[in-house]
A and B are shown apart, each in its own frame.
Chain A
């Protein structure tokens, strides 16, 4: 392989890659990322290969092993180009039909099409899916389209052009100012202006500087970083190289959580390939610029996503945060000036350099620029990753893209920002999603988790859930966080177990404000948010738990009973057969009944009943 030394080398390579490709050739894009792999997409793809070979299609049909398409719930996902046919939940058993009907004759296999649970209509192509329609895929454009293990796929899709432009036509200061002018803010949670951070670091006096990409994605229930790292690893690496050039760093670190083995594999391969092509290593693009990237695997500590803790972890110690200032941009890894950016932030860099600051700053709102990838999950009908322009309303995201709430239940709240964020109620459903509006509403953008809740979600339980999570993850270094979390969690547990008392709400509020103002790092300082925001919007639910001893969502075990609504029960006996405690009695075709003394509230009957006759009282 000839190393790329100039822009024209890259252009030549791109031309020669594209020349070998026939846009009319049937290409099957099959997702091999975490979600689809969990649903056995590897088995499906090998069945597909066998069948194509048996039918004499070798070389005539191309199979592309892609990253995440964003619609993981419907995996394994397959898209057949150029017709753009979208098949979901494909199994090995479907392969024969796909090959004999779709590949051979161009017919649709209707049972594999996506069907709208509400309208019962089928959708034939990927581009017509409601989940994708209102999206603006700038950042996630390649994911699901290219083979993330093939650098030439990335290059064919304009990859590394931004790097060439940055190194040959821009000075480091111009790069920093372009990023500043774009208005890009950090996607890791804090929303700090990226250009400003780079400017500070680039002027810090030191020969040695570092750049760190934060791929720790600690927010439980969010997976946009995973998808980006798995599906388009070169984009992040290109962003890192540009950042390194801009501030004068010679070494970069990619910190990826260990629970993401495919991301680690794809990033490692991408680093190796970039080196082979002369895009990483010594004398990059012949410009005398040296830069290397190493990967560090996170070892299962949420607090290590916090920048100072992460730095200490890379140094090979147990990662507890330290107080700032000094900020890492002055004094970071091994006390050298260090830029630490989230991987999605860095993924934005190539397009900003290539298309310009003006192009970027025209997308979004006045203070929140660009697009943001959200992980839309929970009780919403279409779950998955959605990339939308900043400023889109919650209603558009949850109802137009997400298709509304499952099982025709009622929307109750959406939680954004993970353990540092808050719950937003129906009254705010028309608010725009941007950094400032979310903060005003008592939540935060965070890294992009968006968890939709319905009437079966208990808001007190959710608050307790996040505190429990943080109690476990707090490093324990500072007292307000360590003790405050313990106390707040204790009170919430009492409330959820039916031992809530007068004064609990006041104590929670006071402790929360105390923790916010006195904790050392962001973990403790934001930990009360889920509690305070649910107190603000769902005060009645706390009251019901504390005074009426009722959890009508059916979550807090001591505060509800299961009952069978005799007018809905058709006596199918399913619940009776499945109940592990033999707590259900009733004859065939007659209404059944639950013996509450025997019931352990395992929820099996509630989940099994097809008539939804098992209710919560």
Chain B
């Protein structure tokens, strides 16, 4: 299943070596992370050295080599958000769900990440859960923001 999808992505990019970053971005879209098997598969199909693939996968921040949780929390740590108190918000999230930045909760509910800037600096401090934006966040709002996601039934 997954490999079929990867084949389609490879074809779209005509197996071009220069497109390897775009290919990996698209492939990551399938499972939200890049399993090792997938990287090996891309390497074989493109006939491109596995070290180069790993080099790219670890150099660019967008790639994740471990599975993410059902919901990804991204806290903006850009300058405007930092000034607005992003660190205190991040700490409050860490206390609330008991994980550090870059980790996923044991129940695979949440992953926590920071991003450099989301381009919504006028709404600082900003955080995004999956596709939902939250603006002017402060530590007191965190619990209220997170709780609906916990209640959401599995799909």
Q: Which one of A38, A75, A580 has the highest number of Cβ atoms from chain B below 10 Å of its Cβ?
A: A38
Q: Which chain B residue has the least Cβ–Cβ distance from A457?
A: B83
Cβ proximity bits B66-106 to A, threshold 8 Å, 1 near / 0 not: 00000000000111111111001001100100000000000
Which residues of A sit under 8 angstroms from B78, Cβ to Cβ?
A: 220-221
Q: Would B120 and A314 count as touching, CB distance under 8 A?
A: no
Q: Give bound CA distance, A608 to B22, whole Å.
A: 45
CB distance from B32 to the nearest CB of A (A): 14
Residues of A within 8 A of B60 (CB): 299-301, 318
Given contacts A38-B126, A220-B77, A259-B118, are A602 and B62 in contact (CB under 8 A)?
no
- List which A370-397 residues lie within 8 A (CB) of chain B: 375, 377-379, 383-384
B122 within 8 A of A: yes
CB of A570 within 8 A of chain B?
A: no
- Nearest A residue to B16 by beta-carbon distance? A316
The B interface is mostly helix, strand or loop, or mixed, namely helix
Chain B residues whose CB sits within 8 angstroms of the CB of A602 once the complex forms: 88, 91-92, 95, 139
Q: Are A259 and B122 in contact (CB under 8 A)?
A: no
Give the residue name and chain of the A residue nearest to B54 (CB): A318
Whether B59 contacts A223 by the Cβ 8 Å rule is no
Q: Are B138 and A72 in contact (CB under 8 A)?
A: no
Give A318 to B95 CA distance when docked, in angstroms: 35
Q: Which of chain A's residues have a CB closer than 8 A to the CB of B119? A: 34, 217, 223, 226-227, 259-260
B18 interface residue (CB < 8 Å to A): yes
Chain B proximity of A422: nearest CB distance (Å) = 13
A73-B117 contact, Cβ under 8 Å, with A299-B61, A318-B59, A604-B138: no
Which of under 10, 10 to 19, 20 to 34, or 35 or more describes the interface residues of B?
A: 35 or more
**Also in contact, A35 and B117, with CB within 8 A (given A316-B19, A607-B139):** no
Q: How far is the CA of A319 from the CA of B140 in the complex (A)?
A: 40
Contact, CB under 8 Å: B139 / A603: yes
Q: Which residues of B contact A72 (CB under 8 A)?
A: 120, 122-123
A316 contacts which chain B residues (CB < 8 A)?
Answer: 16-21
Q: Mark A566-578, 1 if CB is under 8 A from B, else 0.
A: 0000000000001
Residues of A within 8 Å of B139, CB to CB, are 602-604, 607
Cα–Cα distance between A211 and B135 once the two chains are bound (Å): 37
Q: Is the CB of A314 within 8 A of B123?
A: no
Inter-chain contact A314/B122, CB cutoff 8 Å: no
Asked if B22 and A296 sit within 8 Å, CB to CB, the answer is: yes
In the complex, per-residue mask of A428-463: 1 if CB is within 8 Å of any chain B CB, else 0 = 000000000000000000000101010001000010
Measured in the bound complex, the distance between the Cα atoms of B118 and A260 in whole Å is 7
Q: How far is the CA of A562 from the CA of B130 in the complex (A)?
A: 34
> A418 vs B120: C-alpha distance in the bound complex, in angstroms?
16
Let me know if B145 is at the binding interface, CB within 8 A: no
Say if the beta carbon of B55 comes within 8 Å of chain A: yes
Known: A226-B119, A604-B140. A299 touches B124 (CB 8 A): no
| A38→B133 contact, CB < 8 A | yes
> Does chain B have a CB within 8 A of A465?
yes
Interface flag for A12 (CB, 8 Å): no
Residues of chain A from 278 to 317 with CB closer than 8 A to chain B in the complex: 296-297, 299-302, 313-317
Question: Please, what's the 1-or-0 string for A340-367, where 1 marks a CB less than 8 Å from any CB in chain B?
Answer: 0000000000000000000000000000
Q: Are A299 and B62 interface neighbours, CB within 8 A?
A: yes
- Roughly how many angstroms separate A602 CA and B140 CA in the complex, as a whole number? 9
Asked if B121 is at the interface (CB within 8 A of a chain A CB), the reply is: yes
Q: How many Å lie between the Cα of A134 and that of B9 in the bound state? A: 49
Establish whether residues A318 and B55, one from each chain, have CB atoms under 8 Å apart when the complex forms. Answer: yes
On B, residues with C-beta under 8 Å from A are 16-22, 24-25, 52, 55-56, 59-63, 77-85, 88, 91-92, 95, 115-124, 126, 133, 135, 138-140
A/B interface sample: 16 pairs, CB < 8 A: A220-B77, A221-B81, A221-B121, A223-B119, A223-B122, A258-B62, A259-B118, A259-B119, A299-B25, A300-B61, A300-B115, A318-B59, A318-B60, A383-B121, A475-B59, A602-B88
